[in-house]
Structures are given as C-alpha cells and as structure tokens.
Structure 1
Amino acid sequence: MKLKQRPEDFIVEELTTVRPEGKGPFALYRLEKVGMGTPEAVQAVCRKWKLRLRDVSYGGLKDRHAWTTQFLTIFRGPRRHMKQSSLHLQYLGQLNEAFGPGQVSGNRFQVTLRDLSSTAIEACLSGFQEAARFGVPNYFDDQRFGSVGPNRQFIARRLIEGDYERALKLALAEPYESDSAARKEEKRLLREIWGNWASLSQKLRKGESSKVVAHLQDYPGDYRGAFALLRPDLKSLYLAAFQSYLWNKMLARWLEEQCRPDQLLTLKLQLGSVPAYRRITNEQYQQFTRVTLPLPSARLHLAADDPLRPIIDAVMREEDLELSQMKIKHLREPFFSKGDRAALFTPTEAKVQIAEDERHEDRQKVTLKFTLPRGCYATLLIKRVMAR
C-alpha cells in the first residue's frame, strides 16, 4: 500500500461555522496550500506582507505532504488575496475575534491508497466498515511527535528536569531526516562547537538559532533565557509531544483492560506499537463513546477513587514521574494543556471508490472519503483500516 504519492492523494478541508461579520479588527482568510506545512505557509505570508507572527492565528496544523485548506485570521491584516506557487490566501471578510482551535468543527478528508492487490482491497473495505461502525482509538499519531528525534528524547522532559541547556540543544541541534541541506549544516556546526558562542555567531545564518547564540554570547550560561527566545508555537509543540506520548500510553492501558485479547490488534506508531480493537460489541462501543481521558499535567487533580487513577499512576511510574512534576518551572510559557480527550473517534460521511491505479500497472487504488472531529488523525484511521 502506498499513501501520499502526490499531494492530491491526501486532501484535507477544514470545516467551521464561522462566517465573516463585516466588521472587526481581524481579517479572515482561507489558506489553500500544497506541499508545505502550516507554520511554513504562515511564515511565507508574514514575509510577503511584513507581518508579526504573533498577529496570525489559526485553528490547527495541516499536513505538509497534502493538499489542504484551512482558515486563519490576521490582526489588522490586508483586505486582499495573495497567491504564490504553493499557497493561495483568499480574503473572506472581518471578524471581531481571532480564529482559533475552538472555531474548527472538524475536517473533511479524501485519501487515496495506491498499489493495492485485490486481497488488500477487501481488507481495506472491511477495515473501513469496521471503523465507521465501531470507531477507532483516538491516539495522537506520528505528526504530533515531529520534535522527537532519532534518539527519542523529549525536549519537555528535559525542561521538567530543569536541564535547560539539554532542552535547548535538542531544540536547535537534533538532526532529522527531513532537514534541508542548509539546516543540516547549521545543526552540525551547533553540535560540533556548542558553547563557542563567538565562533557560532560568525558562522550561523541570520535566524532563530543565531538569535539564541547571540543571547548566550552576551549572557553565558543563561540557557533558560535563551530557551525563552524560541518561537512560542514551537515551545508549545515540544510540551504537547511529551503530554501526548503519556496520554497515548494511558489510552493503551485502558484499552487492554476493556477488551478481550482476541479483540485486540496492533497499530505501529513512530514511538512504538499500541493496541486497537476489532469486533467489539455494541455495548462496548456505546461505553467507549462516553469515555474521555484527561491530559496529564500538574493541574490535574484526581479523586482517590477515580477509576482512571490506577492507569494514570502506572504510566507516570513508568516514566519515573509524578503528576505534580508535569510543569515547567521558572518560565512564563509554555505550559502543559489542561483538558480531556475522547477515547475514540468515529468517521462520518464515509464513502469508498475503487478504480484502476494509473500509477501502478495491474494494481488498484481506493479513495476513502470521510469527516473527522477536530483533533483526530486521518493517518491513524488509515493505519486501523489496513491493520491485519
């Protein structure tokens, strides 16, 4: 099975009930982009219109390897369109408040799976029908963990420990396969002469890393202050990655308690395999749809008799942490989110199309169309659909 062979194979349309009000300080736009992530697209818009990044607000991150549409607002933004090679920004009108995650009602997907045999087609259809009927465990998928490098170290874990230097070095110098050639060279320099701030300040291109290095050159040893200079959206992603990793472990334990062994199957995620289910009963499904699990943080206070407490305590023990430690000391931001996440999601408006695959001789393709609630991962649904 091949996924995302071209951007048109993965189409995402963000859904909202927000409509322009004709007045207000926030300009509303529809952003259509191809082959670039949301942060990169927003930065491109800011460069073109000479905007401050903090004046741009959006509801969520959309995949780089896809054709996506989403909404954003710009405080006192230009009332005009913008078109570049990989993005189109369409001005829609004015709002009285910034657009954010709370204004996203869901996402509509069209996903094409290629290079399939007849047997794989049958398995795909069966898996998709099961998912539409009984839902899918609502794990955070691999995109959530983009800040976790090959050595699987979490930046947030280092922050919890108060090791700001290690956190900063992971954020600036950890290598990733997706790094551009220029970024790889910059990270190599940072790793090789880390601490020689004078030399680094002469060799690095102007950007976020050079700004941090300049601070350390002026204030040697102030790694906490240097970390604070990183982009707010990136700092939030670092914390979200670790919190989501813990939440996934909580959901995995809960599922193993709720399902019989013969009902379980395995999904492979970047940070390890997790259990999913098949052939659950209607009673189990109805029960599962009512369950939410809290995001772990120091602000989470559980009653002694809370049925989820043993699961959460066990996960935290595995990480040699307590809930009270899930906070970042001596930094005004970022902070771990507080809230609950549904244990499963169920795709709606599910449709299937089968056709000959024009890119692979004597093979077929399947196009799946469906809508998911906000914050749920279509890639996780595909993993469940294709799981054996």
Structure 2
Amino acid sequence: MDLEKFIKRRPADFIVEEVLPFKPQEKGKYKLYELKKSNLSTLQVVRFIASLLKIKPSEIGFAGLKDKIAVTTQYITLPESVNFLENISYLYHGGRWIKADKINFENQTGFSMKFTGFTQTPLSLGDNLGNRFIIKIDNIDKDRRKVFYSNLEVVKKFGCANYFGEQRFGSVKGRNDFIFLYLLKGNIEKAMKIYFSIKGNIKNWGKWEALYRDLKGKLEQYERDLILGLKRGLPPEKAVRILPKNIRLMFNFAFQSYMWNEYLRKYIEAKYPFKRVSFIHNWKLSFYTEVYDIEYLKNLQIPYTGKEFLIEDKTLKEIIKRTLEEHSITEDLFDKELIGIKVLTDGLRNAVFFPEEFKIVQKTKNTITVKFFLPAGSYATILLRNLLF
C-alpha cells in the first residue's frame, strides 16, 4: 500500500517549518529571507529568483530541500549587494510566474518572501537545526488506527530507522536505473536519456529540434540550453556539465542514499526483529519492532563508504563491504572526479532518530493530525511509513 493514500491530499495537509540555529543579525554580508511556498519545490523557487535577480542559482543559499506537495517555510540567503524587495509574492499558473499581492497557501500555487535580517555567512545544506511538521493523515480506518498506535509505542521507545526519504530519489526512474551508474560507466548519453525521459517522451532523441519542441514546456532554462548544445554538436561529456552543479550532485546523492539505506536495512534485518515496508521503485525498507541494545543503536553512525571513517561494528562492516561488491563499487572509485564533481565521498549519518514534541493535535473518524519536530536530515515521510504500516 502506498503512503500517498494517507498524506499530501492537499498541500495544506502537510505543513513544514524550518528551524535555524541562530537569529538574524542587524548587519552582515548576506540578506536572510523567510521563504514560504505551496506546491512548489525549493529548487523551482530558487531558480526563478535567480533568473529574476540575474544571478546564479548557486548564489542563493538554503539549508534544505523542502517537500513540493506541502506548505513549507524555510530560509534563504542572498548576497548583501543584491537589490531586492523586502516583501514579494508570486503565483505560478499555467507555466507562468505572476506577481501577486499575497498568496492563499491553502489553494494556490506560489511563494512569498520576507526579509528578516542579515547573516555573516550564506546558508548551505544542513545548516538548520531541523523542521517542525503538522501533518494530516487521511483514510484511517479502525484497523489502520490500531496499527498506528501500536507502532507509535515502538517509536517512542526505540526511535525510528533514519532512512533517506523519497525526496532523495527524484532522478531515479526505475528500480536500478541510477543516472549515476551510467555516468560511472562512461555512458553519458544513456544517463542524459534517462534524465530527460523523466521530463517526458524522448522518442525524438537525436532529432534535437523535435525533442526541444516535445519537451519545451517542461524544461528549465539550463535543460533547454543542454539540448541546444547537443544540437550545435557539443559532445555529451561537455553538454552534461551545462546542468547546474547541484543537479549533477543529486545524481551522486541519489545513489549514495540508496546504498546507505541498504546498509541500514540489512543491518536491522541481521540484528533485530523487523517488519518490511514497501518503498518507491519496489524497494523495501525494514523497521525494527524490538531493540535489545538501544543505547548502542541510538549512538550508531553509519558511513557512506568507510574510506575516511573506520567501521568498528563487525556486522556493519561486512554488510557495507558486501553491498559495495554487489554494485561493483571498488575503493578506487571513492572520491573520483566525474562530470565536474567529486563522487562517492565519505560521511556519517545517524542510524536512528527520535521525533520530539510528538502530539496528536486532532482526530476525526477517518483522520489523525500529528505535530512533531525532527532533526535536520531526517524525513517525516519515513516516520509516517513506520507508523502506518
């Protein structure tokens, strides 16, 4: 059963508010804006603001990518030298941006920005403390309600497995169709074909004018530029670099996030009683139902590759080694330079998280509305999959 049956029926049913670890200052090198949006991705808004201000998207700082089908509040930074209004709102309708006096976030697609002060440094990914959520869960029958309350007791006691959520996998079309793996094999044209197939029909691949017409209404400016570059005879190896760096990095992040999820899934299955829950692309996630060493588990951090961070847990070490081998990832690929980015870099991520300030704020016969806080990098959709299945 899919999670979409229960959540995000309307953007206003999924409210996210970012929490920063600092307060705005009266002076600084960067302007800090509060950005509130509905039914738009963070990158959609960032790219539009960049085009409006005639700056590079990379000059706009933000701490995290917020859900698209939601009403979200987060913060962005702009260089102090950029001249921009203190308050601005835009609707998005029919593929066009329309300036507005205000946005009705419950039933309109759009965003508003409000100047809040200054910072000395730009925001970058992970700079937030976390996010507050208010989520309405729909279609809750009597049996599902029992499952929810039973699972909630487990989460209160043992926390929740800290898997990456579906937002990390927007560039993955199918179960094993990672753009990153085609790039790693040097098949850059195949990688680009998959990328553009997510946008629409690519039957005219190679007939660049026809492909441009087929996809034009669905493309960002840099994607149009890429197709026009191919039309001019630009080789795929150079054309792919027209994509912004953050998009190219997402190809790497999607694969590394999948691998990390696999490490955690296999680790849970090796050590604890567990339940399997369906995820996107017919992948599975496993959630423990009992933990005998919770103090150890809640302090466990799992690396992405194990190159920089040594793995002392023998079970985990063997799982990571075996999973890398299954996907033909060898140590010589760690930190490799690929399409202008460094890939397969190491890092640490907590194996579990504990939702804070969890409250059921409203109940009806068929709905439960919950409120909670999650630390930066943890996903509400993962918590909800654990609670509902």
- TM-score range (shorter-chain normalised) is 0.7 to 0.9
In the other structure, the counterpart of 1:346 is 354
Q: How does 1:178-193 map to 2 (within 5 A)?
A: 183-184=199-200, 188=201, 191-193=202-204
Equivalent residue for 1:164, pick from 177, 188, 198:
188
**TM-score, normalised by the number of residues in structure 2:** 0.85
Q: Name stretches of at least 5 consecutive residues in structure 2 with no aligned partner.
A: 92-109
Give the whole-Å Cα distance in 2 for the aligned partners of 1:25 and 1:62. Answer: 25
Q: SS of the counterpart of 2:129? A: strand
Letter in 1 for 2:383: L
Cα root mean square deviation, aligned: 2.4
In the other structure, the counterpart of 1:210 is 224
Contact (CA 8 Å) 2:34, 2:116: kept in 1 or not? yes
Q: Does 1:130 pair with 2:136?
A: no
Q: SS of the counterpart of 2:139? A: strand
Q: CA deviation at 1:328?
A: 4.5
Q: What are the Cα deviations for residues 9-31 of structure 1, in whole angstroms up to 9, with x where unaligned?
A: 11111111222222222110111
Q: 1:201 and 1:128, CA in 2 relative to 1: closer, same or farther beyond 3 A?
A: closer
Q: How does 1:310-321 map to 2 (within 5 A)?
A: 310-321=318-329
Q: Name stretches of at least 5 consecutive residues in structure 1 with no aligned partner.
A: 176-182, 357-362
Equivalent residue for 1:63, pick from 51, 67, 82:
67
**Could you tell which deviates more after superposition, 299-308 or 69-78?**
299-308
Q: Does 1:375 pair with 2:386?
A: no
Q: What are the Cα deviations for residues 239-279 of structure 1, in whole angstroms up to 9, with x where unaligned?
A: 100001111111111112221xxx21112111411211113
Percent identity of paired positions between Structure 1 and Structure 2:
26
Give the whole-Å Cα distance in 2 for the aligned partners of 1:339 and 1:48. Answer: 35
Contact (CA 8 Å) 1:159, 1:328: kept in 2 or not? no
Q: SS of the counterpart of 1:123? A: helix
**TM-score, normalised by the number of residues in structure 1:** 0.86
Q: SS of the counterpart of 1:225? A: helix
Q: Does 1:51 pair with 2:55?
A: yes
Contact (CA 8 Å) 1:43, 1:53: kept in 2 or not? yes
In the other structure, the counterpart of 2:255 is 242
Q: SS of the counterpart of 1:4? A: coil
Q: 1:200 and 1:266, CA in 2 relative to 1: closer, same or farther beyond 3 A?
A: closer
Q: SS of the counterpart of 1:115? A: coil
How many residues of Structure 1 are paired with residues of Structure 2 in the alignment?
Answer: 361
Q: SS of the counterpart of 2:49? A: helix
Contact (CA 8 Å) 1:138, 1:342: kept in 2 or not? yes
Give the whole-Å Cα distance in 1 for the aligned partners of 2:370 and 2:174. Answer: 32
Q: CA deviation at 1:366?
A: 0.7
Equivalent residue for 2:275, pick from 260, 265, 275:
265
Q: CA deviation at 1:228?
A: 0.9
Q: What are the Cα deviations for residues 68-98 of structure 1, in whole angstroms up to 9, with x where unaligned?
A: 1111101133251111231111101111110
Letter in 2 for 1:373: P
Q: How does 1:27-42 map to 2 (within 5 A)?
A: 27-42=31-46
Q: What are the Cα deviations for residues 150-173 of structure 1, in whole angstroms up to 9, with x where unaligned?
A: 3641011111112222122222x2
Q: 1:288 and 1:36, CA in 2 relative to 1: closer, same or farther beyond 3 A?
A: same
In the other structure, the counterpart of 1:98 is 122
Q: Does 1:143 pair with 2:167?
A: yes
Q: CA deviation at 1:367?
A: 1.1
Q: CA deviation at 1:202?
A: 7.8
In the other structure, the counterpart of 1:253 is 266
Give the whole-Å Cα distance in 2 for the aligned partners of 1:305 and 1:31. Answer: 42
